């Protein structure tokens, strides 16, 4: 049969053409949870490293008012507590599934931060949950912006 390069090299090469680093955007939404499960299953099957990225948007104009400083401190504390909880869950999840999970928490624009992390870790794939916000049909969701960037394959989980 065949006689291709893989046969000459000593056998068929199995399971090495898939992604080796998968970035998944996570938050506490239902679609994000589904995206996390999907990405984890793919990482397990492909023996890939999973990088979970949690991004909290920066404060809006409300922080500029008289109570702005205390509002900013409260938002920072809420971000820190959420990030610590998500990191704990992500790492436990990785141990349970037998996959390597790295957790990254950032503040800023979700598109910019996920893109930055994907570049840093040399991601082969980005997985995100579909946006549930009606306004994103007009402005563009995170998923659409990542697809338009055209740098990585992007899987959008409903």
For 17-26, how does the pLDDT look when each residue is reduced to its tens digit (9 = 90+)?
778 999 999 9
For the chain, the average pLDDT equals 83
Q: What is the pLDDT of residues 61-71, one digit of tens each?
A: 555 556 667 77
Angle at 37 between CA 124 and CA 155, to 5 degrees: 40
CB-CB contact of 113 with 146 (8 Å): no
* Domain spans of the chain, in order of start: 19-157
CB burial of 15-28 (b: ≥16 within 10 Å; e: otherwise) equals eeeebebbbbbbbe
Strands of the 49-56 sheet, one edge to the other? 101-107, 49-56, 21-26, 125-129, 154-157
CB-CB contact of 156 with 39 (8 Å): no
For 8-121, strand residue ranges (E) read: 21-26, 49-56, 101-107
CATH topology of domain 19-157: Rossmann fold (3.40.50)
Give DSSP secondary structure letters for 69-92. Answer: HHHHHHHHHHHHHHHHHHHHHHHH
Q: What does the pLDDT read at residue 2?
A: 47
Q: What does the pLDDT read at residue 138?
A: 42
- Is the pLDDT assigned to residue 54 strictly greater than 90? yes
Instruction: State the Cα–Cα distance between residues 126 and 28, nearest whole angstrom.
Output: 18
Give Cβ neighbours of residue 106 (< 8 Å, ≥ 6 apart): 53, 54, 55, 56, 113, 116, 117
Q: What is the pLDDT of residues 59-96, one digit of tens each?
A: 655 555 566 677 777 777 888 888 999 999 999 989 99
The residue among 132 and 129 whose pLDDT is bigger is 129
């Amino acid at each position: 049969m065949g006689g291709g390069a893989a046969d000459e090299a000593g056998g068929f090469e199995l399971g090495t053409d898939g992604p080796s680093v998968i970035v998944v955007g996570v938050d506490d939404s239902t679609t994000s949870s589904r995206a996390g499960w999907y990405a984890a299953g793919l990482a397990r099957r492909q023996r890939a490293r999973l990088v979970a990225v949690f991004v909290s948007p920066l404060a809006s104009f409300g922080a500029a008012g008289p109570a702005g400083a205390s509002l900013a401190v409260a938002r920072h504390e809420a971000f820190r507590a959420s990030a610590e909880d998500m990191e704990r869950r992500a790492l436990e999840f990785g141990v349970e599934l037998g996959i390597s999970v790295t957790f990254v928490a950032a503040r800023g624009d979700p598109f910019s931060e996920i893109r930055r992390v994907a570049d840093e870790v040399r991601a082969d794939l980005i997985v995100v949950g579909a946006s549930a916000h009606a306004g994103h049909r007009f402005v563009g969701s995170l998923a659409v912006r990542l697809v338009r960037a055209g740098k990585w394959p992007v899987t959008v989980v409903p």
